Homo-oligomer: A and B are copies of this chain.
Amino acid sequence: MKELQARASELDTSDPLAAQRERFVLPDGVVYLDGNSLGALPAAVPEALADGVHRQWGVGLIRSWNEHHWWQAPLRVGDTIGQLLGAAPGQTVAGDSTTVQLFNGLAAAARLRPGRRLLLTDPGHFPTDGYIADSVARLLGLEVLRVAPDDLPRCLAERGHEVAVAGYSPVDYRTGELHDMPAITRAVQEAGGLMLWDLCHATGALPVRLDELGVDLAVGCGYKFLSGGPGAPAFIYIARRHQAAFDHPLTGWNGHVDPFGLSGDYVPAPGVDRARIGTPPILSLLALEAALTAFEGVGMEQVRAKSLSLTGFFMDCADTLLDGLGFTVVTPREPHRRGSQVALRHPDAYPLVRALAARGVIGDMRAPDLLRFGVNALYVSHRDMLTAVRHLRQAVTQGEHRDPRFLHRAAVT
């Protein structure tokens, strides 16, 4: 225990990102390990949003579409996100929800591969990805195959020539397992299909290198590791080579080549701005834009190094302090095989997560038995890791997971 304390202290002292915590507002006495569900409040957001409300909306009124550059916000914020993903400017647009971006991107991707009738998706995906694949397949007369990442080589060998598009996430949202993005991208493309990555659990958490890997399309959300606020706008990345042929179903006026010409036929803008849909939620976009300043001067390699150090240390703490208490570490131990979270399996996951919250340690759970602890390297410390595991040990040893207060199920966990 003393040793772990000493190590936490040492790691935090030599942490080159330690000062970034000042860029966030966190309540006293809370260890926040749910930034993979909703990122903490960046300190720059309140002022930016107040300015957006008072000066831009209140005083500028309709003129702010020009004078405060609201019209450019989806592309401007998109490019800033693109920087974190290794995407050159002009390929990323922010707006709408991940669900909507997935739908639009998946349908457009399938249309780029006419004659191929398979959509591949991960049976372990966050459910929306599967639902949307099913919906797109139904509309376009295609077939969805749910193929685990490990089974992809076999599937592609057999039916690769039929694959239009494969939609996968690099990080398993439950276990935190990190799949091999370069290998999967290559395999799908070698079979002639397009690769669409769902980056919800990767954006802002680890380097992605979209351009370098030659990824075709990607989507992701703004409210997890980007800390853009509850339900922050999502984004879509369309590799430049696909933009001119990107033929999407959500043909809103914002994506028209001449939006204010108000012509009756939809003629898409030539570049990535064709993926703009309707009028974007400017207040939420301004909050996201301010949140992204927390990444200024920070390299994604640094974020990744600290994230791995945090999750590695968490697992070491768990090995030492949770031994014999019914927990299994589900997240892979090898650094190259894990994202930015640690998942523990325990039959009492639900009451334990609630007991932890009562102790000021906020994680979350995924049914039926996983406790998830996400780490955002910009505001989480090694000391936080040890504190969390110590509280977990105390909660179990003191039987809090059998406390009726924590057994009653709330509407949302």
Contact = CB atoms under 8 A, between A and B. Distances in A.
Interface of A: 25, 27, 30, 32, 34, 37-38, 40-41, 45-46, 49-50, 53-54, 56-59, 61-66, 70-71, 96-100, 103, 123, 126-128, 130-132, 134-136, 138-140, 146, 221, 223, 229-234, 249-254, 256, 260-266, 277-285, 287, 357, 362, 364, 366-367, 410-413
Contacts of A264: 123, 127, 130, 146
A274 to B, nearest CB: 12
Contacts of A49: 49, 53, 283
B412 A98 contact: no
Contacts of A25: 54, 58
A410 B66 contact: yes
A127 B262 contact: yes
A291 to B, nearest CB: 11
Most buried by B among A46, A57, A59, A366: A57
B27 A58 contact: yes
B250 A135 contact: yes
Nearest to A71: B412
Contacts of A251: 99, 128, 131-132, 134-135
A131 B62 contact: no
29 contacts: A25-B58, A30-B61, A32-B61, A34-B61, A37-B62, A38-B57, A40-B61, A50-B50, A53-B229, A63-B357, A97-B280, A99-B252, A99-B277, A100-B100, A100-B278, A127-B256, A127-B262, A127-B263, A130-B265, A131-B251, A131-B266, A134-B266, A139-B249, A231-B279, A231-B280, A231-B282, A232-B281, A233-B281, A284-B284
A139 B70 CA distance: 32
A64 B229 CA distance: 12
A249 B70 contact: no
A245 to B, nearest CB: 16
A49 B45 CA distance: 12
Most buried by B among A41, A46, A70, A283: A283
A362 B62 contact: yes
B66 A260 contact: no
A250 B260 CA distance: 27
B65 A412 contact: yes
A367 B258 CA distance: 12
A301 B278 CA distance: 30
B278 A234 contact: yes
Contacts of A412: 65-66, 71, 260
Contacts of A281: 97, 230-233, 281, 284
Contacts of A103: 249-250
Contact of A99 (B98, B132, B253): B253
Contacts of A262: 126-127, 366-367
A220 B282 CA distance: 17
Contact of A253 (B127, B146, B249): B127
Contacts of A362: 61-63
B132 A364 contact: no
A291 B85 CA distance: 36
Contact of A96 (B34, B97, B127, B140): B97
A92 to B, nearest CB: 18
Contacts of A411: 66, 71
A63 B354 CA distance: 11
A43 B85 CA distance: 39
Q: What 8 A-B pairs come out closest when comparing CB atoms?
A: A97-B278, A99-B278, A99-B252, A230-B282, A41-B58, A131-B266, A281-B284, A131-B251
